[in-house]
Amino acid sequence: MNDYLEHNNLKNLKEDKEIERKIQLILRVGKVLMESGADTNRIVRNMKRVGVFMKIPERRLQIHITFTTIMVNINTGDKSITNFQKCYRHGVDMTAISGVSKLSWRAIEQDYSLNEFEKELRFICLRKRYYKKPLVMISAGLACGGFSLLFGGDFFAFIYTSICAMIGYWTRMKCNLLKFNPYASIAISAFVATICAYFIHFMPTNTPWHPLIACSLFIVPGIPLINAIDDLVDNYITAGMTRAINTLLMIGSMTFGIAFAIKLCVVQDFTSLSISSNSFLVCAVAASVAAIGFATIFNMPPRLLIVVACGAIISVGVRNFLMLEYACSQATASLAGAVIVSLLSLKAVHIVHAPSHVLTIPSVIPLIPGVFMYRLLFSIINLENVDNMNYHHVLNNGVNTTLILLAIAVGVAIPNIFFRNYINKLKEDKLMFLVRTKSKRA
């Protein structure tokens, strides 16, 4: 009797250890995706796919995700095992998102063992970024220089903006290295970039104020905003609201740094000056430069840089065409540009073998309304001097800025809004086909 009980206890212990290991691997997958900037729906989908690879029935696997915590529960029928994983570092790594997605499919197709899966997942976690820090700093500067051209700046403004943005990005890297609070790092880097742009605007150029507008745009939290909209649309309310608050804190920190620099330098409101767009060709080059710059910051695989450059040219081209030829508002035109790129990315994923968000987000970043954001900033700074007649200008700037940012985020989320069930059905059919094929081989 004692031998029988001991045998059962050892068997249960081995089963518990195997379940614990599976839970830890699923949690690690979720952590990598969350800390790399994936939306919650994608995180859950990949974690469940890994569960299928591990032969865990979907009804037995429960997943709960917030912005900072991931919980996984496996119910075996006679016992329930739950574990948690905290997520502290929230950055952007498109290569990791793409790598985990491919690994989850490959593990099923090639019938990986747990050891093989863990080894490849560890490789994804420890793999060095494609781009060295000096190259990322230069790319951030060129991306902001591209924005300067998109806003109508000349070549000298492009150079000055790039230099100021590089200094600001270098400052942010140093702040992160010194373990500063992330919001403090944003405020300090925005302050430094703006101060540099103020002193450099005395240099010879026909568009002296454009560097001041564009030099801090490498900080704009495009991915957190888009992920917040995605999560709210997908009914992940807790995660979506947390991402939205995080986005507001990032924008607030950036605004504080810029506003402090403007007040310190006693910069007068220059946003009423005529700011006209450059030619379609210049805008196309500028959009591609900005998109490639942000793609480098996001650690996108080099083979996809040309793809996002083309996507940026399309999104900005559509926006400018609708605004200039059909007098559409910037919000409407930006929405159209983001929607078209999002829909094209659904087809491109099968050609370049990368998740749609990896292609879409850097492509729509050049649509950011930097001029309207600065007009809103000056309206807020000078609010005490605004009379009743000019309050509608303050309101107009705020509404336009908000609508354009929401239009970009909603445009990226369009496939999820209208085609999510269809896309999920296709992925589920593919998954079931692989599982059945795997069962027949066994």
Q: Position of tokens 């600001």?
A: 168
pLDDT at 369: 82
pLDDT band for position 431 (cuts 50, 70, 90) = low
> What integer is the mean pLDDT of 261-287?
76
Beta bridge partners of 288: none
Residue 88: predicted pLDDT? 85
Strands in 80-86's sheet, in edge-to-edge order, are 61-65, 69-75, 80-86
HSE-up (13 A, CA, CB side) for residue 347: 5
How is residue 184 written in tokens? 């403090």
pLDDT for 57 beyond 60: yes
Q: Name which of 297, 129, 304 is nearest 220 in CA terms.
A: 297
Over residues 251-263, the mean pLDDT reads 88
Query: What are the pLDDT digits (tens) for 277-323?
Result: 668 888 899 999 999 999 999 999 899 999 999 999 999 999 999 98
Q: Is the pLDDT of residue 409 over 90?
A: no
Query: CA 312, 315, 316, 317 torsion: positive or negative?
Result: positive
pLDDT for the residue numbered 388 = 54
* 3-class secondary structure, 129: coil
Q: Give the integer Cα–Cα distance in Å for 282 and 275.
A: 15
Higher pLDDT, 58 or 431: 58
* Residue 198, H or E segment: helix 182-200
Q: What is the DSSP string of 207-236?
A: -TTHHHHHTTGGG--HHHHHHHHHHHHTT-
Show the tokens assigned to 418.
């209208």
Task: Provide the pairing of β-strand 69-75 with 80-86.
Answer: antiparallel
pLDDT beyond 50 at 9: no
Across the chain, mean pLDDT equals: 84
Query: Is pLDDT of 337 > 80?
Result: yes
Using a pLDDT cut of 90, give the percent of the chain over it: 36
User: How many residues are recorded in the chain?
Assistant: 442
Checking if the pLDDT of 168 tops 90, the result is: yes
> Could you please report the per-residue DSSP string of 229-254?
HHHHHTT-HHHHHHHHHHHHHHHHHH
- Work out whether the CA dihedral 396, 399, 405, 411 comes out positive or negative: negative
Which residue has better confidence, 297 or 419? Answer: 297
CA distance 255 to 381: 10
Q: What is the pLDDT of residues 115-131, one digit of tens each?
A: 999 999 999 988 888 89
**Two structure tokens written together for 38:** 């994936």
